[in-house]
Amino acid sequence: MKQAIIIGGGISGLSTAWLLGRQAQESGIPLQITLLEKETQVGGKIRSVRENGFTCEWGPNGFLDNKPQTLELCRALGIEDRLHRSNDNARKRFIYSEGRLHRLPENGTSFLKSKLLSWPGKLRLAAEPFAAAAPAGLDETLADFARRRLGQEALDKLIGPMVSGIFAGNPETMSLKSCFPRIAELEREYGGLFKAMLRLAKKKRREQAQGKVVASAAGPGGTLTSFREGIQFLTDTLRDQLGESVRAGCGALAVTCEAGRYRVETDGCGSLTADLVILAAPAYAAAGMLAPLDPAMADLLEQIPYASLSVICCGYERERISHPLDGFGYLNARKEGRSTLGTLWDSSMFENRAPDGKVLLRSMAGGACLPGLITIPDGLLLSRVEDDLRLIMGIEAAPSFVRIFRHGQAIPQYIAGHGERLDRLAGLAAGHPGLLLTGNAFRGVGLNDCVASSQRAVDQAMAFLQR
């Protein structure tokens, strides 16, 4: 019987282990899978804390259903009927800029009426079809791309908040090709974003004519989807179905190779051997494990930085908040100088996130642009969050419920040169048959991206096992 070790018990490791087990069984390959997780609880950054009737998400609060990966996993797990989709409020997204909240425009008419961008900013945006072509051979940053095609104001008020909302990142350092490959592809294929939009709009009209549901252009496509119990229900289900394959509280320390088999030294489970090893740990952790086997791979993994992030959940009596809370929440334009990156109105999107008569707001603070906030005391951090909520939403009341979650290394940053690093990693990994990497450090940080990355790793693993 073949032996496989999966290192890392977040959504990437759990889904990799489950998918690999299913495909090996369907292919008639006898395979024993062991999943190692150093923490006593699996799930990584996915954790749903339920207290006093509130459901506070540690990290991601769901996934978008416009991509098939996570939906297909839920269907295969037999939990598709437990999915809980957000309501229409989730389609309304706001940017805080120049002292007020602006709803993101949904179409050309609302864009012209919106005061988010000034008229000079709108005219600069309208000149996008005449922008200079992308510099050849350069891994352009998001900021340089935005200034080149859309203008400084669009960078400050549109691109910057989007980057902080997805990556908690700094657009001045993040790679366009790695963070938003589809945008880079559209520019290459159509010569500009507006030209691409016109072509894609025709496709959208055809889909609407066929009765297909098409998402608003104001935000990412699809509907935000979770479970009534919180998104942790997904990782709990994977853990339960994997059963004794999961060894929590057992961290991997080092990976070496002896006589064509891999040896994994652990903290708590001794020394294990396997034909196949898949690392689904954060890049910095995987670097330490691979240093004895391949120092060059370890060095490349160490070059992937992470942004810190604090999540601050605040519960309020609904009657003490005058704001209608009719939306997804808001992101802050960077020039506003706020401590928070933005605030999600969790109980407006998912009705069961707060008890009757109460609301739950979840603010994000820190990120690549404000790394120092990860170390300030809880009281000072909460005070800064309350200052922002008072200014932006007019909330004078103190929260009746507070939970703060800190992530010192929260989200990998795809800085310029990331794609080249991945190519070099792939070349080095090819010299170690049966050693694979997966997770959010490489080709997407969202939940759908992690599941898609897991499936790619499983496809590679199956090809190796079948050889």
3-state secondary structure of 260: coil
Domains of the chain (ranges; CATH) run 2-44+231-304+415-466 (3.50.50.60), 48-89+305-412 (3.90.660.20), 105-128+139-209 (1.10.3110.10)
Please give the structure tokens belonging to residue 103: 């709803």
Concatenating the DSSP letter of every residue in 211-240 gives T-----TTS-SS-EEEETT-THHHHHHHHH
Mean pLDDT of 289-311: 98
Residue-wise pLDDT for 414-426, tens only, equals 999 999 999 999 9
Q: How many CA atoms lie within 13 A of 302 on its CB side?
A: 11
Which one-letter DSSP state was computed for residue 135? P
Q: What are the φ/ψ torsions at residue 350 (nearest 5 degrees)?
A: -125, 110
Using alpha carbons, list the distances in angstroms from residue 26 to 19, 77, 237, 243, 267.
11, 15, 21, 19, 33
Q: What is the pLDDT of residues 260-296, one digit of tens each?
A: 899 999 998 999 999 999 999 999 999 999 999 999 9
Which phi and psi (to 5°) does residue 33 adopt?
-110, 135
Confidence of residue 312 (pLDDT cuts 50, 70, 90): very high
Query: pLDDT (tens digit, 9 = 90+) per residue, 102-138?
Result: 999 988 788 888 999 999 999 999 999 999 999 988 9
- pTM, two decimal places: 0.93
Instruction: Round to whole Å and give the CA distance between 253 and 242.
Output: 23
Give the closest residue to 157 by CA, choosing from 339, 332, 365: 332
Q: In DSSP terms, which residues pair with 247 in a beta bridge?
A: 36
Could you tell me the pLDDT band of residue 351, with boundaries at 50, 70 and 90? Answer: confident
Q: What is the mean pLDDT of the chain?
A: 95
Residue 57 has pLDDT above 80, yes or no: yes
**The pairing of beta strand 358-366 with beta strand 401-412:** unpaired
> Average pLDDT of 379-383?
98
